[in-house]
Amino acid sequence: MIGILATIGRAFLEGLAALGRLVIFAGAALGHMVRPPFYPRLIGRQMIEIGYFSLPVVALTTLFSGMVLALQSYTGFARFSAESAIATVVVLSMTRELAPVLAGLMVAGRIGAAMAAEIGTMRVTEQIDALTVLSTDPYKYLVAPRLIAGATMLPLLVLIGDILGVFGGYLVAIYKLDFNAAAYLRRTADYLEFMDVVSGLVKAAVFGFLVALTGCYHGYNSKGGARGVGQATTNAVVSASILILVFNYIITELFFAR
Amino acid sequence: MSPPKIELSGVKKAFGEKIVLDGIDYALPEGESLVVIGGSGSGKSVLLKCILGIIRPDAGSIRIDGEETVGAGSEAREKVRGKIGMLFQGSALFDSLPVWQNVAFRLIQGQGMERRQAKEIALGKLAQVGLAPPVAELYPAELSGGMQKRVALARAIASDPEIIFFDEPTTGLDPIMADVINDLIVASVKKLGATTISITHDMASARKIATRIAMIYGGKFIWAGEAKDIDRSGNAHVDQFIHGRAEGPIQMAVRRP
């Protein structure tokens, strides 16, 4: 019994220590992000990598989410003749929740993993030490550009995702459920508030930052060859996903709790 | 008299329970080439990383040109690093950059030199290590191990450093290529008039590039002297090492059948 408790306690303390290390890493990275030298070339490359190349994944995810959302809410709402609420449900769910969270999770799998693997390989092959020896701060050269690109590109992806999600709902409502197109669009616009979109974009910026942060952190601290890099990649994706879901709640609470 | 280029006194470092460096004292005058020999895992790499400031020693002092580096601010440390070039064991070339950008990395990123000018210098350094201009456009993954080593050497000397570290420069190369690298190292160091510290367990390499040799064992320099005296060290540990005998005072941690 004592043994079990001790194990749980150790795991809990270890978890807190890991969180603390991540926060310290984030603090150091933020400090380097705002001080020169900056590397516009590298920031640009990361922006293309995160923004442009994640576009197909995010587009497909949000499009189908919007479609299934319309279909599912129809099944539910038809039971109490509230079909007309579907447009509102789709647009609010997409902008406030689904687009940022789904895009965040997809990008965590795509980009967070790639960052952890790349930086992790650089760590185990001494390339990060080489950076330091060559008078280049690895935080500025490797971490800062990724954080900047993550925090700026995910909101753009989510904005596109918002539009595609609503479009997906529209497609299903009009062509499958025989809604009136004009009425559907009017309902979509009528109940949408500015804050709904803004809160989603703020979430996206935070999620983008978190994905890049965990990717860099686990890569930066990986050790022990190929196995260590693999471990870092897994940890990056898992911790990014968990942090996204936790922060999703916190930000929602901050925006909409009354 | 000017202070020694690199002066170590009482440098200690432990990782948890394991004591890696247990009080290293050494003064290396300018223009000398010290080779530190010692078995695998004897703390040779840790020593270099302490001098570079990548690892912070637990105790002791490291002076470069008379200036203390242990506990120095990041600006002072950056200034010291600017004097140092390093050839890494696995070459540690940036695989996302073509060869010439690897060689010119410090010139472009660290010193803010214009790319065209930096490329010219890089091509010159590549020629110095016997690599033709077409190689400059290749990526590190497209090169053989020996060529990667040469590129890494060109990168280490690209900014004309006063101090160069070589971490196992010949490991993983065939004996002929190893000798080519040794010759290139000797030639480049002579040309720059640099002070160097190399770590190796390849005695052929050590004899070729060293003016002084020190042997690390149990976290200490157990013998240090002129390179020519290595065969007359009178130290059983050194004799065992340079002749590569399994039997002797150094006992490897292997279970005997």
A132 neighbourhood in chain B, CB within 8 Å:
52, 54, 81
Q: Which residues, listed in sequence order, are joined to residue B7 by a DSSP beta bridge?
A: B27, B63
For residue range A7-22, list pLDDT tens digits in order: 999 999 998 998 999 9
**B242 in any annotated domain:** yes
For residue B98, pLDDT over 90 is answered with yes
**Three-class SS of residue A132?**
helix
For residue B218, pLDDT over 90 is answered with no
The answer to whether A58 touches A101, Cβ cutoff 8 Å, is no
Give the single-character DSSP code of B231: G
Q: Which residues, listed in sequence order, are joined to residue B165 by a DSSP beta bridge?
A: B86, B197
For residue range B17-68, list pLDDT tens digits in order: 888 899 889 999 988 899 999 887 788 888 998 988 888 899 889 998 888 8
**B89 in any annotated domain:** no
Q: Which residues, listed in sequence order, are joined to residue B199 by a DSSP beta bridge?
A: B36, B167
A122 neighbourhood in chain B, CB within 8 Å:
94
pLDDT category, B99, cuts 50, 70, 90? very high
Q: Looking at the complex, does the CB of residue A40 fall below 8 Å from at least one CB of chain B?
A: no
**B99 in any annotated domain:** yes
For residue B256, pLDDT over 80 is answered with no
Closest-CA residue in chain A for B86? A133
What's the pLDDT score for residue A172? 94
Query: What average pLDDT does this structure show over B223-227?
Result: 87
Q: Last residue of some domain: B160, B195, B217?
A: B160
For residue B181, pLDDT over 70 is answered with yes
**Which of A153-162, A201-210, B176-185 is predicted with the least confidence, judged by mean pLDDT?**
B176-185
Asked if B34 and B106 sit in the same domain, the reply is no
Closest-CA residue in chain B for A40? B109
What's the pLDDT score for residue A210? 96
Query: What average pLDDT does this structure show over A27-33?
Result: 90
Asked if B115 and B195 sit in the same domain, the reply is no
In chain A, the percentage of residues whose pLDDT exceeds 70 is 100
Asked if B165 and B254 sit in the same domain, the reply is yes
Helix count and strand count (H, E) for chain B: 9, 10
Look up residue A195 and give its two tokens. 């804050």
Look up residue B98 and give its two tokens. 């073509």
Decide which of B247 and A57 is more confident.
A57
Which domain range does residue A96 map to? 2-256
A39 neighbourhood in chain B, CB within 8 Å:
109
For residue A38, pLDDT over 60 is answered with yes
For residue range A69-124, list pLDDT tens digits in order: 999 999 888 888 888 889 999 999 999 999 999 999 999 999 999 999 999 999 99
Asked if B73 and B40 sit in the same domain, the reply is yes
For residue range A213-254, list pLDDT tens digits in order: 999 999 999 988 889 999 999 999 999 999 999 999 999 999
Among A39, A126, A135, the residue with its CB nearest the CB of B82 is A135
- Residue written as token pair 């010291």: B80
- Flag if B52 and A126 touch (Cβ within 8 Å): no
The answer to whether B67 touches B7, Cβ cutoff 8 Å, is no
Contacts of B16 (CB under 8 A, 6+ apart): none
**B169 in any annotated domain:** yes
- Flag if A134 and B106 touch (Cβ within 8 Å): yes
Residue environment code for A200-211, b if the CB has 16+ CB neighbours within 10 A, otherwise e: bbbbbbbbbbbb
Domains of chain A: total: 1
Q: Exposed, middle or buried, B38 (CB in 10 Å: 0-12/13-18/19+)?
A: buried
What's chain A's average pLDDT? 92
Amino acid, res. B234: G
What's the pLDDT score for residue B145? 86
Query: What average pLDDT does this structure show over B220-226?
Result: 88
Closest-CA residue in chain A for B52? A133
What's the pLDDT score for residue B1? 56
Residue B24 CA to residue B43 CA, distance in Å, equals 11
Asked if B142 and B79 sit in the same domain, the reply is no
Asked if B166 and B257 sit in the same domain, the reply is yes
- Residue written as token pair 């367990």: B201
**B90 in any annotated domain:** no
What's the pLDDT score for residue B121? 92
Domains of chain B: total: 2
For residue range B58-92, list pLDDT tens digits in order: 988 999 888 888 887 878 888 888 889 999 988 89
Asked if B102 and B146 sit in the same domain, the reply is yes
What's the pLDDT score for residue B78? 82
Residue B171 CA to residue B201 CA, distance in Å, equals 9
- Flag if A135 and B49 touch (Cβ within 8 Å): no
pLDDT category, B124, cuts 50, 70, 90? very high
- Flag if A135 and B95 touch (Cβ within 8 Å): no
Q: Best of A135, A140, A220 to disrupt the B interface by mutation (most B CBs within 10 Å)?
A: A135
Distances (CA, A) of B250 to A114, A236, B39: 44, 43, 9
Q: Last residue of some domain: B160, B187, B206?
A: B160
B15 CB-side CA count, 13 A: 9
Each as own residue / partner, the long-range contacts of residues A85-88 (CB below 8 Å, 24 or more positions apart, any chain) are: A86/A169, A86/A173, A86/A177, A86/A179, A86/A184, A87/A169, A87/A173, A87/A179, A87/A184, A87/A185, A87/A187, A87/A188, A87/A191, A88/A187, A88/A188, A88/A190, A88/A191
Among A122, A127, A136, the residue with its CB nearest the CB of B109 is A136
The answer to whether B199 touches B48, Cβ cutoff 8 Å, is yes
**B255 in any annotated domain:** yes
- Flag if B52 and A133 touch (Cβ within 8 Å): yes
Which residue intervals of chain A are DSSP H helices?
2-33, 40-47, 55-77, 86-93, 99-107, 113-124, 127-133, 138, 144-171, 181-190, 194-220, 225-256
Which domain range does residue B191 map to? 1-83+161-257
Decide which of A139 and B78 is more confident.
A139
Q: Best of A32, A39, A121, A126 to disrupt the B interface by mutation (most B CBs within 10 Å)?
A: A126
E strand segments, chain B: 6-15, 18-28, 33-37, 59-64, 67-68, 84-87, 163-167, 195-200, 212-217, 220-226
Interface of B with A in 54-83 (CB under 8 A): 54, 78, 81-82
- Flag if A134 and B110 touch (Cβ within 8 Å): yes
Gap from A198 CA to chain B (nearest CA, Å): 37
Gap from B257 CA to chain A (nearest CA, Å): 29
What's the pLDDT score for residue A95? 94
A141 neighbourhood in chain B, CB within 8 Å:
109
Report the CATH number that the domain containing residue B49 is assigned in CATH: 3.40.50.300
- Flag if A132 and B52 touch (Cβ within 8 Å): yes
What's the pLDDT score for residue A52? 94
ipTM of the complex: 0.86
Asked if B150 and B165 sit in the same domain, the reply is no
B89 neighbourhood in chain A, CB within 8 Å:
126
Query: What average pLDDT does this structure show over B153-174?
Result: 89
Q: Looking at the complex, does the CB of residue B235 fall below 8 Å from at least one CB of chain A?
A: no
B84 neighbourhood in chain A, CB within 8 Å:
133
What's the pLDDT score for residue B34? 93
Interface of A with B in 74-113 (CB under 8 A): none
What's the pLDDT score for residue B67? 84
pLDDT category, B226, cuts 50, 70, 90? confident
What's the pLDDT score for residue B252? 67
Decide which of A109 and B233 is more confident.
A109
Residues in chain B: 257
- Residue written as token pair 């490291």: B62
What's the pLDDT score for residue A202? 95
A107 CB-side CA count, 13 A: 41
- Flag if B88 and A126 touch (Cβ within 8 Å): yes
**B52 in any annotated domain:** yes
What's the pLDDT score for residue A143? 95
- Residue written as token pair 């990986």: A222
pLDDT category, B235, cuts 50, 70, 90? confident
Among A37, A39, A126, the residue with its CB nearest the CB of B92 is A126
The answer to whether A222 touches A120, Cβ cutoff 8 Å, is yes
Q: Looking at the complex, does the CB of residue B15 fall below 8 Å from at least one CB of chain A?
A: no
**B88 in any annotated domain:** no
Query: What average pLDDT does this structure show over B183-192?
Result: 89
**Three-class SS of residue B161?**
coil
Q: Last residue of some domain: B131, B160, B189?
A: B160
